Amino acid sequence: MTERHLALYVRVSTEEQAASGHSLREQEEQLVEYARSHGFPRYELYCDDGYSGKSLNRPAMERLRADIRAGCVLGVVTTRIDRLTRSVADFARLVDEMNLHGVFYRSTRQNFEISTAMGRLVAQMLSVIAEFEREMIAERVHENLLAMAQRGELATKPPFGYRLVNGRLTPDPREARWVREGARLLLTGASPRDVAMEFNALGVRTKTGRLWTDRTVRTLFSNPALAGVSVWNRRKTQGSRRTEREPTEWVCVEGAHEAILSREEFEALRGMLERRRALSPRSQGSKRPLAGIARCGFCGSAMYAGWQVSKRGHERQKRPIYRCGRYVTGGGCTPNQVDASALEMLVVEELLRRVRPELEPVVSAYRAHAASNELRTVQRKRRVALARLSRLAEAYASGVVSEEAFSREQVRLLRVLEACREAEAQAAALSTTDGWDAWVRELCARLAGDPHLERALFLTVVREVRVFRPKRSREVDVDLVLRLE
């Protein structure tokens, strides 16, 4: 049987050490002295540096509890009860575990026994006081941070796009333009990896002079500072790790400094990044517009974006495709494979068909207004050209203009009149059904020629595309699940 040892537990949070100076070294010296003076030759130190006492999720505490359950611990000693925990519920749980495994507890500054009813009562009262003290410390820290933040005194390390001027964040003109360019790329469908590659290729570096990665791009464009919102107390140090606090502990100040992006742009960016993170890792950096969105209509698994290679003569040809992921990995589904360009065009057409009842009146009104403005401009231009042509004929008849100059100017004005007639016909066609269909075809062609824009549209509007293509069939059917449904 393993010989049991005395557990010496020490803990200090960053706020407590700064406020009281009760350091780990002082605690350790007191506990080692206690072990030696009370005749415990075997003891082991359990140290949680920079961890709050509001929960038991601490590395050394978890190791201590595991040793207690394993029967390796004879007793637990701390300098004060609040070193163990500042939660009444957690203290009651620890007392039950210690009593269950025959482990005693001692506090070098507070004398009581948890094995007796009176000792447990005293311990419970002390734990209530410790929890109250923790809440008071948290309130004071939050109030002080908020007051300092409102005065603009907390800015330390500026994010990319900013610099410190008299202790306040001020946009850096050289970096701010790259922030706007990166936001534009992300909002038009580029992935964080695409933005990182673009920045690295153009010689743009991070604040620390390193290359950009998809992670640093996501971190930058998730920072509310870009929208003029300063956030402090967002992260904390636990040992050697930096972790994020609960949002209720953040200190946020609106309008603390000049914004690089508008609030609407920042919210759109954050939504786009969150939707990308919801995709599978395989699809997050894909350039195919439907990667991570298209799913097999038969088995429900993701459709993989890939290539089909064919050989014609001595040349190899590649065409983009989507195919059922379960079929690719040998899961037993049908070979649900479709041409990527055809599927993307089909989804755009289906999306326009779904939203046409709501979209057509707005678009028709806009197009009618645009057509009337265009028509008035063209008619004015045509009247000016006719008047100039008339004056030119009079000048030629009077001998003021030579025949060569007359011919040259006449040809130019006739070309202007021909262009005006064509523009009038196009403006008149905008309000007709054929004009609407032509506009839809132009929109589809533009989206097909810009995969980034098409992916941005799908990520914003479409939650899922279910693809059905029966075996040996050329017909493809899709079922769209929109985010607004």
Catalytic residue set:
13
User: How many residues appear in the chain?
Assistant: 485
Let me know: does 28 contact 77? Beta carbons within 8 Å: no
Among candidate residues 74, 121, 61, 77, the one with its CA nearest the CA of residue 101 = 74
Residue type, 427: A
Query: Residue 207: exposed, middle, or buried by beta-carbon count in 10 A (0-12, 13-18, 19+)?
Result: middle
| Residue 102 region by backbone torsions, left for phi larger than 0, else alpha for psi between -120 and 50, else beta | left
Tell me if residue 231 falls in helix, strand or coil: strand
> What is the 3 state secondary structure string of 137-160?
HHHHHHHHHHHHHHCCCCCCCCCC
Let me know: does 121 contact 90? Beta carbons within 8 Å: no
Query: Residue 475: exposed, middle, or buried by beta-carbon count in 10 A (0-12, 13-18, 19+)?
Result: exposed
Let me know: does 119 contact 106? Beta carbons within 8 Å: no
Tell me if residue 323 falls in helix, strand or coil: strand
Among candidate residues 267, 175, 166, the one with its CA nearest the CA of residue 222 = 267
Q: Which residue has the tokens 């990308």?
A: 276
CA distance 368 to 441: 18
343 alpha-carbon distance from chain centroid: 28
**DSSP secondary-structure letter at 75?**
E
Q: Phi/psi at 458 (nearest 5 deg)?
A: -65, -45
Let me know: does 144 contact 228? Beta carbons within 8 Å: no
| Torsion of the alpha carbons at 147, 153, 159 and 165, rounded to the nearest 10 | 150
